[in-house]
Structure 1
Amino acid sequence: MRILAIDYGIKKCGVAATDPLQIIASGLETVPTGKLFDWLENYLQVEEVSDLVVGESRALDGSTNPIQTEIVGFERKFRKRFPGIAIHRQDEFNTSRRARESMLAMGMKKKKRRDKTQVDRIAAAIILQDFLEERR
């Protein structure tokens, strides 16, 4: 079974998944937040998923960001629709910066690095990879 991760945002969400052996995290897609549950329904009909990791957003001083309210609402709705999938939180501090750095290291052109959809997808993969590394 795979593990999914979401870099949750007000307008759009980056989504990543592991391979079936839960070794490697890969960015899948950036989905408009309003269509996230439709996307999840379709994905979960095709792939077996055991866990969902949601990025936990904190301010620099460690306090919660206003988006946390949205994330909690998303998690409640997710639990109701997909009760067999465990939900985990993973600190997402600096994942967008790390995503941009990895895009630069991969040699992506400046125009592609400015594409926020690419950044969100890679940030979700970083959240998932951090989760996998902490589990080991």
Structure 2
Amino acid sequence: MKLKMRKIWKLVVVALVITTSAFAQQRGQQGGQRGGGKQAPPELPTSKEIKTMVSNLSGELLLSDEQEEQVLELYTLHFEEVENKTKSGRPDRNEMEELKEDFENEVKAVLTEEQQELFTAYLKKNSKKRKSKRKIN
């Protein structure tokens, strides 16, 4: 009886070790897909998604048709530039921050003063949404 109990316990211990090891490997692979557990840059929006973003922005800022067209072009060019900088690897964080800042200033140049204030608020609101989504994922 004692011999059977020892075999059972050995089997239980081996099963636990295998299960724990498999779980740890799975978690390691998930982290490895995104640079060894480091946070990867977000996926770039498609042209359809960019149009939706600008349309939403237009509704918030009450853009004229001409402004919406200009902003759409700025968004499209911005994401093309981001894609060019990210396709050869992880870009410099400061360079990307500068790119973002330049982009936001270009958009503001198309807007009235009132729209600029609304745009700044819009960016803050959406930045908080993105940060909360990252924490969830």
User: Normalised by the shorter chain, which TM-score bucket?
Assistant: under 0.3
Question: Which one has a larger percent strand, Structure 1 or Structure 2?
Answer: 1
Higher RCO, Cα 8 Å, sep 6+: 1
**TM-score, normalised with respect to structure 2:** 0.28
Question: Which one has a larger percent helix, Structure 1 or Structure 2?
Answer: 2
